[in-house]
Chain A
Amino acid sequence: MTEPRTPVTARSEPEAPEAPARGNAPPPGQRVAVGLDAVAKRFATQVALHPLSLAVAEGEFVTLLGPSGCGKTTLLRIVAGLEIPDEGTVSIFGADVTDRPANKRPVNLVFQRVTLFPHLTVAENVGFGPRLRRVPKAQAAEKVRAALELVRLPDFGGRRVTELSGGQAQRVALARAIANDPQVLLLDEPLSALDLEIRRQLQAELKEIHRRLGLTFVYVTHDQEEAMSMSDRVVVMREGRIEQVGSPVEIYRRPQSAFVARFLGMSNVVEATVTAAAGDWLELGGAGLPLRAPVPASAPAAGQRVTVVIRPDSFEITPALPGQAAGGDVAGEVTDVRFIGSLVHYRVAAGSRDWQVSARAGSAEILPEGAAVQLTWRPDEVIVMTEPGRSGS
Chain B
Amino acid sequence: MGIGQGVLIPARRGRLRQPARAGRPRWSLLLLLPVGIALSLGFVLPLALLFVKSFETSLGYGQVSGHLTFSSYVTAVTSPLYRTVAVNALEIGGIGTVVTLLLSYPLAFFIRFRLRRGQNTILLLIMISLFAGYIVKIYAWTTILGTYGVINTGLERIGLISQPLSVLLFSKIAVLIVVTYLSIPVSVLILVGSMQNVDRALLENARDLGAGGLRAVTSVLVPLSATGIVGSLAYGFVVISGDYITPQLVGGTTGQMIGVPISDQFLNIGDQPLGSALSFLMLAVFILVYFGLSRLERFKGV
Q: Which B residues between 7 and 48 are near A, CB-CB below 8 angstroms?
A: 7-17, 19-21
A12 / chain B contacts, CB cutoff of 8 Å: 8
B8 / chain A contacts, CB cutoff of 8 Å: 10-13, 20, 22, 24-25, 53
Q: B11, B16, B19 — which one has the most chain A CB atoms within 10 A of its CB?
A: B11
B9 touches A55 (CB 8 A): yes
A233 touches B17 (CB 8 A): no
Tell me whether B253 is interfacial, beta carbon within 8 Å: no
Tell me whether B3 is interfacial, beta carbon within 8 Å: yes
B7 / chain A contacts, CB cutoff of 8 Å: 8, 10, 25, 27-28
Interface residue count for A (Cβ, 8 Å)?
A: 42
Tell me whether A83 is interfacial, beta carbon within 8 Å: yes
A232 touches B9 (CB 8 A): no
Tell me whether B159 is interfacial, beta carbon within 8 Å: no
Tell me whether B2 is interfacial, beta carbon within 8 Å: yes
A129 / chain B contacts, CB cutoff of 8 Å: none
A57 touches B1 (CB 8 A): yes
Tell me whether A247 is interfacial, beta carbon within 8 Å: yes
Tell me whether A298 is interfacial, beta carbon within 8 Å: no
- Per-residue CB contact flags for chain A residues 56-85 toward chain B (1 = under 8 Å, else 0) read 010110100000000000000000000111
Given A35-B9, A37-B11, A55-B9, answer yes or no on A87-B17 (Cβ-Cβ < 8 Å).
yes
Tell me whether A282 is interfacial, beta carbon within 8 Å: no
Main secondary structure of the interface of B (DSSP, over half): loop
A162 to chain B, nearest CB (A): 18
Tell me whether A9 is interfacial, beta carbon within 8 Å: yes
Given A83-B20, A86-B17, answer yes or no on A22-B4 (Cβ-Cβ < 8 Å).
yes
B20 touches A86 (CB 8 A): yes
Tell me whether A180 is interfacial, beta carbon within 8 Å: no
- Per-residue CB contact flags for chain B residues 122-146 toward chain A (1 = under 8 Å, else 0) read 0000000000000000000000000
A8 touches B9 (CB 8 A): yes
Tell me whether A122 is interfacial, beta carbon within 8 Å: no
Tell me whether B210 is interfacial, beta carbon within 8 Å: no
Tell me whether A245 is interfacial, beta carbon within 8 Å: yes
B10 touches A245 (CB 8 A): no
Q: What is the CA–CA distance of A87 and B159 in the complex, to the nearest angstrom?
A: 90
Kindly report which residue of chain A lies nearest to residue B20, judged by CB atoms. Answer: A84
Given A23-B4, A24-B4, answer yes or no on A37-B12 (Cβ-Cβ < 8 Å).
yes
A245 touches B20 (CB 8 A): no
Q: What is the CA–CA distance of A232 and B2 in the complex, to the nearest angstrom?
A: 7
Q: B4, B11, B13, B19 — which one has the most chain A CB atoms within 10 A of its CB?
A: B4
Given A11-B10, A84-B20, answer yes or no on A89-B15 (Cβ-Cβ < 8 Å).
yes
B299 to chain A, nearest CB (A): 33
Tell me whether A88 is interfacial, beta carbon within 8 Å: yes
B3 touches A87 (CB 8 A): no
Q: What is the CA–CA distance of A156 and B12 in the complex, to the nearest angstrom?
A: 48
A235 to chain B, nearest CB (A): 10
A28 to chain B, nearest CB (A): 7
Kindly report which residue of chain A lies nearest to residue B16, judged by CB atoms. Answer: A87
A38 touches B2 (CB 8 A): no
A57 / chain B contacts, CB cutoff of 8 Å: 1-2
Tell me whether B6 is interfacial, beta carbon within 8 Å: yes
Tell me whether B65 is interfacial, beta carbon within 8 Å: no
Tell me whether B5 is interfacial, beta carbon within 8 Å: yes
Tell me whether A312 is interfacial, beta carbon within 8 Å: no
A130 / chain B contacts, CB cutoff of 8 Å: none
Q: What is the CA–CA distance of A233 and B1 in the complex, to the nearest angstrom?
A: 8
Tell me whether A106 is interfacial, beta carbon within 8 Å: no
B9 touches A86 (CB 8 A): no
Kindly report which residue of chain B lies nearest to residue A247, judged by CB atoms. Answer: B3
B4 touches A246 (CB 8 A): yes
Given A87-B16, A88-B15, answer yes or no on A37-B2 (Cβ-Cβ < 8 Å).
no
B11 / chain A contacts, CB cutoff of 8 Å: 13, 20, 37-38, 53
Q: What is the CA–CA distance of A304 and B203 in the complex, to the nearest angstrom?
A: 59
Kindly report which residue of chain B lies nearest to residue A42, judged by CB atoms. Answer: B19
Tell me whether A26 is interfacial, beta carbon within 8 Å: yes
Tell me whether A208 is interfacial, beta carbon within 8 Å: no
A9 / chain B contacts, CB cutoff of 8 Å: 9-10
Q: Which A residues between 11 and 56 are near B, CB-CB below 8 angstroms?
A: 11-13, 20, 22-28, 30, 32, 35, 37-38, 42, 51, 53, 55
Q: What is the CA–CA distance of A287 and B265 in the complex, to the nearest angstrom?
A: 94
- Per-residue CB contact flags for chain A residues 239-278 toward chain B (1 = under 8 Å, else 0) read 0000001110010000000000000000000000000000
Tell me whether A393 is interfacial, beta carbon within 8 Å: yes
Q: What is the CA–CA distance of A57 and B5 in the complex, to the nearest angstrom?
A: 13
Q: What is the CA–CA distance of A85 and B20 in the complex, to the nearest angstrom?
A: 7
Q: What is the CA–CA distance of A393 and B7 in the complex, to the nearest angstrom?
A: 13
Kindly report which residue of chain A lies nearest to residue B18, judged by CB atoms. Answer: A86
B24 to chain A, nearest CB (A): 14
A98 / chain B contacts, CB cutoff of 8 Å: 17
B12 touches A38 (CB 8 A): yes
Given A57-B2, A233-B4, answer yes or no on A25-B16 (Cβ-Cβ < 8 Å).
no
A86 / chain B contacts, CB cutoff of 8 Å: 16-17, 19-20
B3 / chain A contacts, CB cutoff of 8 Å: 23, 27, 233, 246-247, 250
Q: What is the CA–CA distance of A32 and B20 in the complex, to the nearest angstrom?
A: 26
Q: What is the CA–CA distance of A83 and B13 in the complex, to the nearest angstrom?
A: 20
Kindly report which residue of chain B lies nearest to residue A6, judged by CB atoms. Answer: B9
A23 touches B16 (CB 8 A): no
5 contacts between A and B (CB under 8 A): A9-B9, A11-B10, A28-B7, A55-B9, A59-B1
Besides A8-B9, A60-B1, 17 more A-B contacts (Cβ < 8 Å) are A11-B8, A12-B8, A13-B8, A22-B8, A23-B4, A35-B9, A37-B11, A38-B11, A42-B19, A59-B1, A60-B2, A84-B20, A86-B17, A88-B15, A98-B17, A232-B1, A393-B6
Q: Nearest 3 CB-CB pairs, A to B? A: A23-B4, A84-B20, A10-B7
